[in-house]
Amino acid sequence: MSAQNTLIDLGLMLASGGVEVVDCSGVLGPDTPILQLPADFAKPTPRVEIHKISEYDADGPFFAWNWMVLGEHSGTHFDAPHHWITGKDYEDGYTDTLDVNRLVAPVNVIDCAAESAADPDFLLTADHVKAWEAEHGENGAGDWVVLRSDWDKRADDEAAFLNADDTGPHSPGPTPECMEYLLSKKIVGWGSQCIGTDAGQAGAMDPPYPAHNMLRRDNCFGLASLANLDKLPAKGAILIAAPLKIQRGTGSPMRALALVPKG
């Protein structure tokens, strides 16, 4: 089958409902949970603000539009390689220089929702991934791999979403060995339903924040605060994860869309 016929068939399947488009993004607004960092560690991202310019009134009688205040890494967002020090030297590591062909790829969903509900500090290991592969097939070169924790169910409550106490945040994520294993498969990127791509307690790992550290090291991408991963199959969907083309951008809020076969 030619590439042209494949795209024609895809168009027909989208039109007929044979392929469903699943929105894997949360709502971006003033109530969107924002990552909280210690004041002595880093300058924080501002909260999202939406300000009206006009809405069919004296400031613009025929049109409605707004202006916004937001960080690159707010809400459902994309981490580009330049986001972390290990990726600082990649010239194609910004949102305006990356290879867009890498943004549309098969997505493999590792379901750890039950484990995450039982233990918010659940850590995905390389052995967990190998067991998933034994059941569903290998993670391939260029694939997206995402951790389903159903953490998006907490998104309407910032305290529950951040889940922090005096020892720091508590949320699931990968171990360093897990990230090394996945990157050995040449995946394009890793995603999570939590506030960031790492576990809440990942600062104490070696290296600290392994998803950030290793993904950027290998010029790979991260996706955070994803939603609706419970609507995706373990394997067989396509994820479109495109950041805004921000000049020298380190990341961007995004509308992540999955193409999911029905039936």
Residues carrying an active site annotation: 83
User: CA-to-CA distance for 24 and 225, rounded, in angstroms?
Assistant: 9
Q: Is 257:105 a contact under the CB 8 Å cutoff?
A: no
- Can you read off the two tokens belonging to residue 173? 């994520």
In order of 83, 152, 198, 224, 256, the CA distances from 202 in angstroms are 17, 20, 6, 15, 25
User: CA-to-CA distance for 144 and 138, rounded, in angstroms?
Assistant: 12
User: CA-to-CA distance for 116 and 113, rounded, in angstroms?
Assistant: 5
User: CA-to-CA distance for 107 and 162, rounded, in angstroms?
Assistant: 25
> Cβ of 102: how many Cβ atoms within 10 Å?
16
Q: In the chain, what's the furthest Cα-to-Cα distance?
A: 63
